[in-house]
Amino acid sequence: MTTVSEIRAKLAEGQPTLGSWLQVPSATVAEIMGRAEYDWVAVDLEHGSLTVRDLPNMFRALEAGSTVPFARVARIDKKDIKQALDAGAKGIIFPMVESAEELELAISWSLYPPKGRRGVGYSRANLYGKNFDAYVQEDAEATIFVAQIEDIAAVRVLEDILQVQGLAAIIVGPYDLSGSIGLTAQFDHPEFVKMLDTIQQAARRHQIPMGLHIVQPDKELLRSKIAEGYQFVAYGTDAVFLYNACECPVI
């Protein structure tokens, strides 16, 4: 089974860690994705049609396949973060991070006192109290925090964002980021390519692994991005995999 420690080790050693994305509220789909040999899979609470009620079974299904369960929360919100962690998320992807202060607050809500301000209680994550002491003691090391860079506003203050304590990696949301400069989905546009280079150079200076969501599956693009140094890479989504595979053939 892939572990949080193994993902951290890959990032520290400059190696890629490859994950994927779940938007369909189905534990069956999560079970299939959990056995697809990704290091981690993120359950998408922002754009997926999922609720917090879906998380325990989705996470159980991923763990059954030896995949580390992540959650992309709907927004940077104390309640959303706490519920995802209490359900058993081992990684949190924070969407639309636009300032260091916002990220600091998000990470604070993710850690128990005295390191942070996370609400303390029994939950699935600590086996309803059975593993409470061990879970509380290891929470900072047992959870990976990733900031999504999805707006030009974040790029302008990226140097500050990259210095936030506890940040494990950043991941570019290409559609929103390109949209924020009026070039939605124009990923080959020189201005967007230049922005990615700016982000990557800043990440290297601060020794923070950079990632990207390759939404449309493309193995050659994946290989090229890893060769460029992208480390925290999300590949496809459950729904995209499905419609690509089941589209009616032309006969």
Catalytic residue positions? 47
State the residue for tokens 């939950």. 123
Return the number of other C-beta atoms located less than 10 Å from residue 131's C-beta. Answer: 13
Query: How many CA atoms within 13 Å lie on the side-chain side of 84?
Result: 33
Residue carrying structure tokens 């990207």: 212
* CA distance readout (Å), 16 to 54, 157, 185, 190, 192: 29, 25, 24, 25, 23
CA 199, CA 191: separation in Å to the nearest integer? Answer: 13
Q: Of 205, 204, 199, which is closest to residue 181 (Cα–Cα)?
A: 199
Other C-beta atoms within 10 Å of 230: how many? 21
H or E element that contains 147: strand 144-149
Cβ(214)–Cβ(222) under 8 Å?
A: yes
Residue at 64: amino acid letter: A
Q: Any idea how long the chain is?
A: 251
- Tokens representing 28 are 């069956």
The separation between CA 144 and the C-alpha centre of its own chain, rounded to angstroms, equals: 9
Rg (CA), the chain: 18
